[in-house]
């Protein structure tokens, strides 16, 4: 009797638990669903707010655009007169995981399938990205040190009227670099220390131990130039450290106005398409509006500092240099891709407009391994007009170069790396990569 009662009670208890479980299931599942959604939302928030190396969305250098890069308006002032502006460049974040041996150069590929358009190609610069250093730093530093010793007087110069601007640039670099690259540079009471090369820089002593532009050149991988406005409204190259330019010498351009620099170098389309916009830009650019641009060239020797194929670097500086002296259709192993990343900003105290000119230099045989690059570059080279082709020396290398790029592109299509319609698919690529 007792056992029967226990059995019935146990049976009723199990039935009640089953009913309770069934009624609880929707609540449990609903709770789990809410927890899952909250987790996904939180993960998305973390990803959106995770620090990343920021890069500006960039217009295409070779595609006309009516979009205004800068929205600021320059205050009225007489030509050649600059009143110091109370502007402090925002402090940069440390470059994520930067290492002098392991951080690779950014893969700038500022070319696209044709047609080719001549534009200034400006895009907004994030302040964090003013100066780019990578694992080529030690090579660039050694090359610059050697060239300063050999020819510093002619390649690093500052006009007396530009001295304050050159010192201002030096001060800016000694403030920015330890913040952006703290494993390489350390700020000191008198300037900055290089933790890798064990160099110390005193920027407050007077007189300075060397031309300030020469010191600036030792700090970065870029070549540097500062333009200053004179009462005639023209901007003149009055301070520079041009050590790894490849195709031009500071001595040929020093003291020239902006327009003459470009016309003397036969820059294609300058008078008809670039001069007016460039002069307007220089006039209106303000300290809070830094910009970037990229360009590219082909070179038929492996010399970063000076391309001997276009003629000797040394001479009386009246000797013309140009592609006519280059040997025609050298083997593809002698072809190099040279790309410049230029930043432009106005210094708030002196009013000088600073160019930083960082060169990236790689064998064509290396970049042609990248998906889509050989087909895109071949199309870009073919799209140059006669004036651009002459300026870039296409006649000297086009046969070998284009045959090689076409074959590399054919192989990429054959292997399925890119499709036959890659030119159309490439429209979504972010310039200048």
114-123, 325-334, 351-360: least confidently modelled range = 114-123
Helix axes 212-219, 163-180, angle to 10 degrees: 20
pLDDT of 123 higher than 70: yes
User: Of 299, 311, 329, which Cα lies nearest the Cα of 395?
Assistant: 329
| Model confidence at 40: pLDDT above 80 | no
Q: Looking at the predicted structure, is the pLDDT value of residue 194 above 60?
A: yes
Query: In what side-by-side order are the strands of the sheet with 185-187?
Result: 185-187, 191-194, 200-202
Pairing mode, if any, of strands 156-158 and 235-241? antiparallel
DSSP state of 230: -
Residue of 114 and 3 predicted with greater confidence: 114
Q: Is the pLDDT of residue 13 over 60?
A: no
Residue 19: is its pLDDT beyond 80?
no
Q: What share of residues in the chain are helix, strand, coil (percent, to 5)?
A: 40, 15, 45
Helix ranges, 205-287 (H):
212-219, 250-253, 258-264, 275-284
pLDDT score recorded for residue 271: 80
132 vs 342: CA distance, rounded Å: 11
pLDDT tens, 220-278? 999 999 999 999 999 999 999 999 999 999 999 999 999 899 887 778 887 887 888 88
User: What percentage of the chain carries pLDDT values higher than 90?
Assistant: 68
Predicted pLDDT at 29: 46
Q: From residue 106, give the alpha-carbon distance in Å to each of 110, 272, 298.
A: 12, 33, 18
- Distances from the Cα of 417 to the Cα of 109, 112, 371, angstroms: 18, 18, 6
Question: How far is residue 58's CA from residue 122's CA, in Å, rounded to a whole number?
Answer: 8
288 vs 29: which has the higher pLDDT = 288
**Mean pLDDT of the chain, nearest integer:** 85
Distance CA 345, CA 349 (A): 12
Whole-model pTM? 0.82
Q: Phi then psi for 339, rounded to 5 degrees? A: -125, 135
Token pair in block for residue 309? 């194929």
- Judged by average pLDDT, the poorest of 186-195, 399-408, 412-421 is 412-421
φ, ψ dihedrals at 124, nearest 5°: -65, 140
Spans of all domains in the chain: 58-64+106-428
pLDDT, position 278: 86
Which of 139-148, 241-250, 368-377, 419-428 is predicted least confidently? 419-428
Q: At 341, phi and psi to the nearest 5?
A: -110, 115
What angle is formed at CA 191 by the lines to CA 185 and CA 192, rounded to 5 degrees?
15
How many separate helices (H) and strands (E) can be counted in the chain?
Answer: 12, 10
pLDDT for the residue 423:
77
Helix residue ranges, H only, 135-182: 137-155, 163-180
Euclidean distance between the first and the last CA atom of the chain, given in angstroms as a whole number: 87
Output the pLDDT for position 75.
64
Which residue would you say has higher pLDDT here, 166 or 317? 166
Q: Angle at CA 67, nearest 5°, toward 390 and 378?
A: 35
pLDDT at residue 46 in the model: 40
Per-residue pLDDT band for 44 (boundaries 50, 70, 90) equals very low
pLDDT of residue 186: 98
The length of the chain is: 433
pLDDT classification of 296: cutoffs 50, 70, 90: very high
pLDDT at 397 over 50: yes
pLDDT higher for 226 or 12?
A: 226
Average pLDDT over residues 301-322: 85
Handedness of CA 263, 268, 272, 274 (dihedral sign): negative
Residue 256 CA: distances (Å) to CA of 236, 261, 417: 5, 6, 48
Buried b (16+ CB within 10 A) or exposed e, 312-340: ebeeeeeeebebeebeebbebebbbbbbb
Cβ–Cβ under 8 Å, residues 67 and 120:
no
What's the pLDDT band for 173 if we cut at 50, 70, 90? very high
Percent of the chain, pLDDT > 70? 81
Helix, coil or strand: residue 169: helix
**Predicted pLDDT of residue 317:** 59
């Amino acid at each position: 009797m007792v056992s029967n009662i226990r059995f019935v009670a146990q049976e009723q208890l199990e039935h009640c638990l089953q009913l309770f479980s069934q009624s609880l299931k929707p609540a449990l599942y609903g709770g789990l669903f809410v927890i899952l959604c909250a987790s996904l939302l939180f993960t998305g928030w973390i990803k959106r707010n995770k620090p990343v190396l920021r890069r500006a969305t960039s217009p295409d250098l070779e595609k006309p655009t009516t979009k205004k890069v800068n929205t600021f308006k320059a205050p009225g002032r007489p030509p050649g007169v600059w009143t110091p502006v109370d502007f402090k460049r925002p402090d940069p974040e440390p470059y994520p995981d930067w290492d002098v041996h392991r951080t690779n150069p950014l893969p700038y590929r500022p070319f696209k399938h044709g047609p080719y358009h001549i534009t200034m190609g400006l895009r907004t610069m994030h302040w964090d990205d003013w100066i780019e250093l990578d694992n080529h730093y030690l090579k660039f530093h050694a090359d610059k040190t050697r060239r300063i010793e050999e020819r510093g007087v002619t390649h690093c110069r500052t006009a007396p009227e530009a001295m304050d601007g050159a010192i201002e640039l030096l001060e800016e670099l000694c403030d920015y670099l330890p913040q952006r690259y703290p494993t390489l540079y350390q700020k000191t009471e008198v300037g900055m220390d290089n933790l890798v090369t064990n160099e110390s820089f005193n920027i407050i002593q007077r007189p300075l131990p060397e031309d300030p532009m020469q010191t600036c050149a030792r700090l970065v991988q870029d070549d540097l130039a500062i333009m200053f406005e004179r009462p005639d409204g023209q901007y003149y190259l009055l301070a520079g450290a041009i050590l790894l330019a490849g195709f031009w010498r500071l001595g040929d351009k020093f003291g020239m106005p902006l327009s003459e620099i470009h016309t003397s170098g036969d820059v294609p389309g300058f008078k008809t398409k670039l001069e007016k916009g460039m002069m307007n830009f220089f006039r209106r650019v303000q300290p809070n509006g830094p910009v970037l641009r990229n360009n590219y060239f082909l070179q038929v020797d492996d010399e970063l500092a000076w391309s001997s194929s276009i003629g000797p670097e040394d001479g009386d500086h009246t000797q013309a240099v140009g592609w006519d002296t280059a040997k025609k259709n050298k083997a593809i192993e002698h072809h190099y891709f040279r790309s410049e990343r230029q930043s432009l900003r106005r210094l708030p105290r002196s009013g000088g407009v600073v160019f930083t000119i960082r060169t990236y230099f790689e064998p064509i045989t290396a970049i042609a391994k990248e998906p889509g690059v050989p087909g895109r570059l071949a199309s870009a080279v073919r799209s140059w007009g006669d004036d651009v082709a002459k300026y870039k020396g296409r006649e000297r290398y086009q046969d070998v170069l284009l045959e090689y790029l076409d074959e590399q592109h054919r192989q990429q299509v054959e292997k399925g790396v890119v499709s036959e319609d890659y030119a159309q698919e490439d429209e979504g690529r972010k310039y200048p990569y």
